[in-house]
Amino acid sequence: MRLMGVWARGLGLCVSLAGEVRAQAGTEETRQALLQEAAAASQAGDHTRAIDCARRAAAIRMTPSLRFLLAREELAVGLPLESHNHATACVDEVRASPTLPNGDLLRTRCEGLRDEAERSLARLTVRLPSPRPPSLRVVIDGIPTDLAQLEVARVRLPGAVEVVATAEGHERFRASRTLSVGEHATVDVALRRTPSTVAAPAAPLPIRPTPRPPSYAGPWALGGVAAAGLITMAVFGGLALDAQRERDARCATESACDLVGATAADARYRDL
């Protein structure tokens, strides 16, 4: 019984694997059928049908050669941006697979499609401020954009473009441009801090006058002037007293009076 159980489980596993193989084979067969239909539609000039079949095949498995087919058909129906993206991816994938059969030829063809599509496009570079605010968010035409992809020129369709940048503590930045075919435009994101986050300048400290020591020059000056006046009065008073004494000595009596000396003494007294 145990051997029967093991055999049954093994049989079930084989049946399951066989089913997966058949499913994968069916999926690959479906992909090949879609590729044949896409090629036929392209030759018939039905590029829209060719794109539809190629995209359905790509959903099963994408390859560089399928990217080339998509890029060629998208360019034919006037989808240069999609064509450029597929052609660029084709070039990158071929370079990453050096052993790919006919890789050089496929890369050359994809490069040609890429360059042809780019002639109908514009380029936009968004330069971010340095240093970047931690909460910086950039939206281009309403679509959030990875900041790591903004420092290089990105192809886009010509026409109006709007760049909006926001960051916590900063005013909202918005710039609108109208790009022409072949133009390479640059938008510099400039963020200004909101008034509430700008630190107000510190109020200047009040200037206090330096205290000066009391001056005694006034009282001393007045005292000096008064003293000088007293000294002058004493000198002149003394001189006048000497002149009076000399006059009195020269004329002690009326009979013995030196008129000349008395007169001179009187003159000295008057001059004082």
pLDDT one-digit tens code per residue, 198-221: 555 666 666 766 666 655 555 544
Residue 190: pLDDT band (50, 70, 90) is very high
CB atoms within 10 A of CB 143: 7
3-state secondary structure of 167: coil
In this structure, the strands spanning 143-144 and 154-156 are unpaired
The 10s digit of each residue's pLDDT in 3-61 is 444 444 444 443 343 344 344 557 999 999 999 999 999 999 999 999 999 999 999 99
The 10s digit of each residue's pLDDT in 256-265 is 555 555 555 5
Strands in 99-256 per DSSP E: 122-127, 137-140, 143-144, 154-156, 159-166, 173-179, 184-188
3-state secondary structure of 134: coil
Strands in 23-117 per DSSP E: none
First-to-last CA distance in the chain?
164
